[in-house]
Structure 1
Amino acid sequence: MILDLGADAREYGRQALRAFESAGGDRLVEQAETDPASREALVGPVLAELGAWELDPRSDPDGLEAAAALCRSAGHWALPYPLAERLAAPDDLDVDGLVVAAGPRPAAALAGLDLRWAAVDLDGRRSTVTAQRHAGPGFVAELDLAAVDDNGATDRALALVLPCWTLLGMLDRAIALTVTHVSLRKQFGQTLSAFQGVQFQLTDAEVERSGLDILAKHALWSAATGQPGAVEDALALRLAALEAADVVFRVCHQLHGAVGFCDETTLSWLSRHSRPLRRLPFGSSATRDHLTRRAGRAGLAGLYA
């Protein structure tokens, strides 16, 4: 097992970062929040130019690594588009994307997009989305589902793992923004970064982020190679991602102070648009419950053992 992305995937991710910046960068999410129906027009051409829809993350390991790198770059800019969900689209259904559905009122950040969607639950039951109702901020819509089949066993891990790569990109950016902020902001005659308390907090956040980085690569390998515990690995990754996000955003908001909650600050947009990823299809407690039920007494293999 090699816990790193290939050179081609890493370069693809870097090129995607530049492409998203050239297309508008942080302004993309601001414009899309004003008009959710503009999301396809704002982001779709950039993704098409990058060849996102030509990737084959299901049968091509290199394509899966490239998809993960692309999702991470999208997270860096809080790209207002369900990229991970589109890349997870199943081959045997006539749909444009796939979401994980859970609970009596399934929801996903799909509002404003005129696309065909499928959903899969953790038991492998697949459905098609027949209707959407805009339900809240972050482009969240409640979904009406129509059952299709029980053939989603191979869909679950990928649909859980790729959104975690998007969240990882958000954490990368949050820490980078905070390091820049504390390096420039002065208090009592010195920069905030010179204070040990600030250094300790940033270290805690970076430990969480870097640990998630390794776990994301392991779960990606597990999904790519069809490991028997791929779904459990994906759930463990999601739990780690949610816990890391709690720590990273808490530290970053604390070190930014009140300005970190103002829309003039990029961190505010990043934090707010991480919420759908962190709450849907289920939050920390439900993720832990699902993982405990599936892993049972056997526990987890590999890095999670």
Structure 2
Amino acid sequence: MILDLGDDAAEYGRQALRAFEAAGGDLLVQQAEAKPAERESLVGPALAGLGAWDLDVRDADELEAAAALCRSAGYWALPYPVAERLARPADLDVDGLLVVADNRPAGTVAGLESRWAAITLDGRRSTVTGQGAAGPAFVAELELSALGDAGTGDLALGLTLPCWTLLGMLDRAIALTTAHVTLRKQFGQTLSSFQGVQFQLTDAEVERSGVDILAKYALWSIATGRPEAVDDALALRLAAIEAAEVVFRVCHQLHGAVGFCDETTLSWLSRYSQPLRRLPLGLSATRTQLTRIAGRRGLTGLYA
């Protein structure tokens, strides 16, 4: 087991970072919030240029490339459900897959005309037949039509790839905060020179790096067809939500009040991380779900 992305996938991720920056970078999410119906036209050309929709996530190498793409999308808070598009089922004529809760299913699909499938954490699949009014961060409630079949392999992908998007957001949040405390001065010295600040940043980085390793492990679990892939994906999601709580709390604290203002990129990152952290389930409900499905036999591998 090698817990590193291949060279080709890593390079693909770097190319994606540059492509999203050239397409508008941090301005993309601001423009999309002002005009949600234009999300597709804002980011579509960059994704098409990268060949994003040609990736076959059932192939191990291309799955790594898809994960790297999701991470790059998260870094720029790309206003588009890239991970959900990449996780599309192979046996359904749809554009993407949304993992949803049993009650009030929702997804970040407001303003998009794509065809979607949905899957619950029990593996029950549906097609999305309609959506309600748009809420914050492009979230809309969904109307579903049950298919009456199961797709546990789809579930593992649908849980894992959005965690790579969230990981990219954590990468950026820490990078922004490190730059902030290095430049900002207080009492005649930079904030980064204070031991308390160093401790807080270290705590955040430990959480982020832990998710990094667990995300690669869950990806390997899917690629090798492990029967525990769904358990591993759900455990990754739990770890990613917990890490996001720590990372964004630390980053907001170290930015101070300005970190909650739209003039700072951190504010946009934090806002658009919320659907990834709350859908289909939040922290407590995700923990309960993992306990329910793996509580008797426990987890294996890195999660044991």
Provide the residue aligned with 1:203 in structure 2.
202
CA separation in 1, counterparts of 2:247 and 2:123?
Answer: 32
The AA in structure 1 aligned to 2:6 is G
Length, aligned pairs only: 304
CA separation in 2, counterparts of 1:12 and 1:257?
Answer: 35
**How much identity, in percent, do the aligned residues show?**
79
Deviations 1:48-94 (A, max 9, x none): 10000110002x10100000000000000000000000000011111
Provide the residue aligned with 2:215 in structure 1.
216
CA separation in 1, counterparts of 2:148 and 2:224?
Answer: 24
Deviation at 1:228, TM superposition (A): 1.0
Deviates more, 1:126-135 or 1:22-31: 126-135
Provide the residue aligned with 1:244 in structure 2.
243
Q: Secondary structure at the match of 1:142?
A: strand
CA separation in 2, counterparts of 1:224 and 1:61?
Answer: 5
Provide the residue aligned with 2:23 in structure 1.
23
Tell me the TM-score normalised to structure 2 length: 0.99
Deviation at 1:135, TM superposition (A): 4.2
Provide the residue aligned with 1:299 in structure 2.
298
The AA in structure 1 aligned to 2:167 is L
The runs of at least 4 aligned residues of structure 1 exceeding 3 Å deviation read: none
Show structure 1 runs of 5+ residues with no match: none
Tell me the TM-score normalised to structure 1 length: 0.99
Q: Secondary structure at the match of 2:146?
A: strand
Deviation at 1:224, TM superposition (A): 1.2
Deviates more, 1:223-232 or 1:190-199: 223-232
CA separation in 1, counterparts of 2:277 and 2:238?
Answer: 10
Provide the residue aligned with 2:282 in structure 1.
283
- 2:136 equivalent to 1:137: yes
Deviation at 1:134, TM superposition (A): 2.5
Provide the residue aligned with 2:92 in structure 1.
93
- 2:7 equivalent to 1:7: yes
Deviation at 1:40, TM superposition (A): 0.2
Q: Secondary structure at the match of 1:114?
A: coil
Provide the residue aligned with 2:255 in structure 1.
256
Provide the residue aligned with 2:269 in structure 1.
270
Deviation at 1:149, TM superposition (A): 2.8
Deviations 1:210-265 (A, max 9, x none): 01100000001111111111111011000000000000000000000000000000
The AA in structure 2 aligned to 1:118 is A
Provide the residue aligned with 1:54 in structure 2.
54
Contact 2:102-2:120 at 8 Å conserved across structures: no
RMSD: 0.7
Show structure 2 runs of 5+ residues with no match: none
Deviation at 1:151, TM superposition (A): 2.9
